[in-house]
Amino acid sequence: MEIKVNKKIRFFQSIHFKIALVFALLLLITFQIVGAVFVQRLKTENIKEFKQRVELSTYVDNYLINRLSSTNTTKANNEIKSILEDANNENISSIQVVDSKGTIRGEANVNDGSTVGQKTTNTKIKRVLYSGRSLTETDYNRNDGNRYYTSITPLFSSTGNTNTIVGVVYLRANMESVYQSVNSVTLMFVTASLMATAIGMVLAVVVSSAITRPIDEMKRQTERIAAGDYSGKVHVYGNDELGQLAMEVNNLAVRIEDAQESSDSERRRLDSVLSHMSDGVAATDRRGNITIINEMACEYLDVDSEDVLGKSILDVLKIRDQHTLRDLLENQEDILVDMSDAGHDLILNAYFSLIQRESGFISGLVCVLHDVTEQQKVDRERRQFVSNVSHELRTPLTSMKSYLEALNDGAWQNPEIAPTFLKVTQDETDRMIRMVNDLLSLSRMDSGTVKLEFELVNLNELFNYILDRFDMMLKKDSNDTKETKGKNYTIKRDFTKRDLWVEIDTDKFIQVVDNIMNNAIKYSPDGGVITCRLLETHNHVIMSITDQGLGIPRKDLGHIFDRFFRVDKARSRAQGGTGLGLAISKEVIEMHHGKIWVDSIEGKGSTFYISLPYEEYEGEDLWDEE
């Protein structure tokens, strides 16, 4: 199974970016924390220092307490004014001294005219006069956008054990200079941290590219391996984890190549085994759809492999009506598939077996197709033969039984019937003996135990000899063979002038010719001319025997040499025929590497041909020369 890999990595997803980001964030956070602590501390220190700077010293305070306690107000006010002017500095925006009655006794830096001698309107001053507790606060002035520090300090004169409040000092100072210096430091800090972050990020990209380059290379190499190219190698930069990974990737490529090669050669071997198998083989997937089919299977099923791949095996074997896939999976038995068509017979034995993983999971079926047409035919013929033999033996036996019963029932005493009945039983016995003998010689030939005694024979002479015997039988009035009895024939000979020498088993060959001659006479009730020919072609001798008898129907011509076949059973049996003569003849001629066949027109007559392989024999010429 192939896993889809998204080849394109966007910059934001890359390790490059991630490392740089982590780096930058780390730097930023560090700077933030350090900055925050530092700036906070700086601010506190500055404010503290500022307060120290603006607050009046104890000396001034005592001086003021003395003046406020003095009864000479005008003088005291002048002295207060001069000390306030001395204490004044650029940070202080306003300073007032108010006595315990709330009267303003001195001031400095007050823009809106002198208020000395007037009662104060400032509620905060009044509150401090009243409570005797000092007050400090910072406020923000919207009009000029500055922050101000206000401090109202009560002044006490101590007489004896009692402290009496004699007045307050009101002080207001612009703090903006403190904030400005803190702000400028903060700004510097932010700029520095941003710059450091940017530089850090660039550095991180450079450093991370050193890490990602080998990773990139390995990625490309694994892509090549996946595409089947094992030739490349990853460069090993060092002996760190990435270097070891690179080495492993290289090892992996070698191993995959080996594995691929061995699986390729395995597949080729399997392919060649499959394609050279004499049996058809098809494999299917779990759903029974064909995945592999070999040439032989295609030939058996008369299909193209491209057409059947992916199709259900049930449809391809045309067994969907009789079987389901479940049947095939559950009981893998042999199934006979009849693929016969008008042209030829084909019966296949389909053997199914499961393709199973170790876990027991069934991943498909293998179907082996074996051609059993011949086997089936042989089986059928054997069954047919056994039934034929039993039938052929039963018929004469039943008829003999009935004759013997009749004789037993008293017919033996009847001198007119008894001899006839006995003759019939004797004839039937003879016929059965003939049949059994025929069957025996056929069986011997079938089993290959018959050895032919080949000798070089002049065929012209042999044929003449056989025909002479038939001529003799015809001439003899007293001949009593069934076939020739009372019939009038002429045997015509039409032989080549050349002597044809062939190697044959004389006895067996005479048997064949006798059989054909006897049939010619037997199946020609009206007599006629029997023409016997002997001629040679380039490498064959051909004998033919033509009669003017009943002939053989066209439909039976193909079966005439089958065992027990007779065109007209009743007639043949009446003539003492067994239906085995031509079958034996065929076997004998085939053992001579020859052929036997027939031409016939029903009602007109038949011609039987025998052809034997022939090599021109030069012996005579040699003898002549001698």
Interface residues with ligand ADP (CB under 6 A) are 515, 519-520, 523, 547, 549-552, 560, 565-568, 572, 577-583, 606
Q: Shortest approach of ligand ADP to residue 484 CB, angstroms?
A: 14
Cα–Cα distance, 218 to 236 (Å, whole number): 10
Minimum CB distance to ligand ADP smaller for 99 or for 562: 562
Cα 423 from chain centre: 80
Q: Shortest approach of ligand ADP to residue 535 CB, angstroms?
A: 20
Q: Shortest approach of ligand ADP to residue 452 CB, angstroms?
A: 21
The Cα-based distances of 422 to 244, 434, 578 in angstroms read 110, 18, 21
Q: Shortest approach of ligand ADP to residue 580 CB, angstroms?
A: 6
Angle subtended by helix axes 176-226 and 241-276, to nearest 10: 30
Q: Shortest approach of ligand ADP to residue 573 CB, angstroms?
A: 8
Q: Which two tokens stand for residue 416?
A: 């007119």
Sign of CA dihedral 263, 264, 265, 267: positive
Q: Shortest approach of ligand ADP to residue 606 CB, angstroms?
A: 4
Minimum CB distance to ligand ADP smaller for 152 or for 580: 580
Minimum CB distance to ligand ADP smaller for 204 or for 567: 567
Q: Which two tokens stand for residue 413?
A: 């005493």
Burial (Cβ within 10 Å: 0-12, 13-18, ≥19) of residue 407: middle
Q: Shortest approach of ligand ADP to residue 605 CB, angstroms?
A: 7
Q: Shortest approach of ligand ADP to residue 434 CB, angstroms?
A: 9
Q: Which two tokens stand for residue 374?
A: 């011949």
Burial (Cβ within 10 Å: 0-12, 13-18, ≥19) of residue 180: exposed
Cα–Cα distance, 220 to 216 (Å, whole number): 6
Q: Shortest approach of ligand ADP to residue 431 CB, angstroms?
A: 9
Q: Shortest approach of ligand ADP to residue 555 CB, angstroms?
A: 13
- Tally of residues, the chain: 626
Minimum CB distance to ligand ADP smaller for 99 or for 483: 483
Angle subtended by helix axes 58-69 and 73-87, to nearest 10: 170
The Cα-based distances of 289 to 311, 312, 314, 538 in angstroms read 5, 4, 9, 57
Minimum CB distance to ligand ADP smaller for 254 or for 574: 574
Half-sphere exposure of 315 toward its Cβ, with a 13 Å CA cutoff?
Answer: 11
Q: Shortest approach of ligand ADP to residue 545 CB, angstroms?
A: 8
How many CB atoms lie under 10 A from the CB of residue 380? 10
Minimum CB distance to ligand ADP smaller for 167 or for 581: 581
Q: Shortest approach of ligand ADP to residue 443 CB, angstroms?
A: 16
Burial (Cβ within 10 Å: 0-12, 13-18, ≥19) of residue 135: middle
Q: Shortest approach of ligand ADP to residue 352 CB, angstroms?
A: 45
**DSSP annotation string for 452-514:** ---EEEEHHHHHHHHHHHHHHHHH-TT---TTTTT--EEEEEEE-SS--EEEE-HHHHHHHHH
Burial (Cβ within 10 Å: 0-12, 13-18, ≥19) of residue 475: exposed
Minimum CB distance to ligand ADP smaller for 154 or for 579: 579
Q: Are the CB atoms for 155 and 64 separated by under 8 Å?
A: yes
The Cα-based distances of 484 to 429, 478, 519 in angstroms read 21, 11, 10
Q: Which two tokens stand for residue 578?
A: 């067994």
Minimum CB distance to ligand ADP smaller for 67 or for 566: 566
Cα–Cα distance, 568 to 550 (Å, whole number): 11
Minimum CB distance to ligand ADP smaller for 1 or for 570: 570
Minimum CB distance to ligand ADP smaller for 396 or for 577: 577
Minimum CB distance to ligand ADP smaller for 280 or for 549: 549
Minimum CB distance to ligand ADP smaller for 299 or for 494: 494
Q: Which residue has the tokens 């759903």?
A: 287
| CA-closest candidate to residue 93, choices 178, 153, 150 | 150
Q: Shortest approach of ligand ADP to residue 339 CB, angstroms?
A: 33
Minimum CB distance to ligand ADP smaller for 500 or for 598: 598
The Cα-based distances of 293 to 154, 340, 369, 596 in angstroms read 113, 20, 11, 43
| CA-closest candidate to residue 594, choices 609, 574, 575, 578 | 609
**DSSP annotation string for 12-72:** GGSHHHHHHHHHHHHHHHHHHHHHHHHHHHHHHHHHHHHHHHHSPPHHHHHHHHHHHH-S-
Q: In the bound complex, which residue of the shown chain has the CB atom lying closest to ligand ADP?
A: 577
Q: Shortest approach of ligand ADP to residue 556 CB, angstroms?
A: 8
- Please name every residue paired with 158 in a beta bridge, in sequence order, or none if there are none: 163
Minimum CB distance to ligand ADP smaller for 154 or for 551: 551
Minimum CB distance to ligand ADP smaller for 544 or for 572: 572
